[in-house]
């Protein structure tokens, strides 16, 4: 009799854990988009309805690991894809920790170069772990197999031939909802993307960007073309101008989480 209660306790704990794991693996009808509060820089986590996981940038510090642990189940520690939008330390720093802590299926890398120690370290990890890589170019698409697509809008072939190149920009689509991912592209690059794609391609439910100084303020023309319902900003301060759109900042709102069905996005 004295052994029955401990054994029952172990069985109950095992069943609770198994139930938790099953519930976290069960498909949903929504896409999760989380603009992570990593302090400095930008990091965006995406979880599709069938739990394909994508990370865009990693911020500048170790803060990314704590943020990811809120979303990626402890028993998984796997990311289907990672996108590095530019070879800058404020995007790369956290990715070094991520690749050392999570298995990664593939990584999309920018065409720009950098001599920074962190970027060199990141490339060494990619080679050591034999992570599949792709170079970003307009038209490259990730099909997650559950109705979610991510299409690269910038750079294109002409931009790749230039020495002056901005961060990777893309659009995430799920049914009639979408997220435009600009990574804080300066206004000049936004104007170029607008000219190449037009308003019908850029129009999105959510606009995400990085703001760390005057050069990263979105241009009014670009905002008007996108016409988002929300503007979600990785930042430590507010924009100097008001775009008359509901604007959420990570430093004010902490991590910003949306659940998007094929019909609408809801702020959680």
Six-digit token pair at 255? 């991590």
What are the domain boundaries of the chain?
27-267
Angle, alpha carbons 146-150-153 (nearest 5°): 160
Could you give the count of Cα atoms lying within 13 Å of 255 in the half-sphere of its Cβ?
20
pLDDT for 1 equals: 55
Name the phi and psi angles at 119, rounded to 5. Answer: -65, -40
CA 83 – CA 78 distance, rounded (Å): 14
DSSP 57-95: ---SSTHHHHHHTTTS-TTT-EEEEEE--SS-HHHHHHH
Query: Which helix (H) or strand (E) segment is 142 a member of?
Result: strand 141-143
CA 187 – CA 219 distance, rounded (Å): 5
pLDDT for 38 equals: 96
pLDDT for 163 equals: 75
Rounded to two decimals, the pTM is 0.90
Contact 210, 235 (CB under 8 A): yes
CATH number of 27-267: 3.60.15.10
**Cis, peptide link before residue 141, omega less than 30° from 0:** no
216 vs 2, more confident: 216
Nearest to 145 by CA among 105, 103, 101: 105
Contact 204, 182 (CB under 8 A): no
262 vs 159, more confident: 262
pLDDT digits (tens, 9 = 90+) for 127-172: 999 999 999 999 999 999 999 999 999 999 888 888 788 999 999 9
What residues contact 169, with CB distance under 8 A and at least 6 apart? 85, 152, 153, 154, 180, 181, 182, 183, 185, 189, 193
pLDDT digits (tens, 9 = 90+) for 82-102: 999 999 999 999 999 999 999
């Amino acid at each position: 009799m004295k052994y029955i209660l401990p054994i029952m306790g172990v069985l109950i704990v095992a069943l609770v854990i198994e139930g938790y794991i099953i519930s976290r693996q069960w498909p949903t009808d929504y896409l999760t988009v989380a603009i992570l509060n990593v302090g400095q820089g930008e990091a965006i986590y995406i979880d599709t309805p069938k739990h394909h996981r994508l990370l865009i940038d990693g911020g500048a510090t170790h803060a990314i690991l704590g943020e990811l642990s809120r979303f990626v189940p402890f028993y998984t520690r796997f990311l289907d894809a990672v996108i590095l939008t530019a070879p800058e330390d404020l995007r790369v720093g956290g990715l070094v920790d991520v690749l050392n802590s999570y298995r990664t299926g593939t990584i999309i890398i920018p065409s720009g170069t950098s001599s920074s120690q962190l970027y060199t370290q990141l490339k060494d990890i990619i080679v050591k772990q034999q992570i599949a890589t792709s170079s970003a170019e307009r038209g490259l698409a990730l099909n997650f197999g559950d109705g979610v697509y991510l299409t690269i809008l910038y750079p294109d072939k002409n931009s790749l031939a230039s020495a002056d190149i901005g961060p990777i920009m893309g659009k995430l689509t799920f049914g009639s909802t979408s997220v435009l991912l600009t990574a804080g592209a300066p206004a000049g690059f936004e104007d170029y993307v607008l000219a190449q794609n037009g308003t019908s391609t850029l129009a999105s439910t959510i606009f995400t960007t990085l703001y760390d100084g005057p050069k990263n303020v979105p241009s009014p023309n670009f905002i008007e073309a996108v016409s988002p319902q929300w503007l979600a900003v990785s930042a430590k301060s507010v924009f100097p101008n008001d775009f008359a759109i509901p604007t959420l900042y990570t430093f004010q709102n902490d991590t910003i989480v949306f659940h998007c069905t094929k019909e609408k996005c809801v702020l959680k």
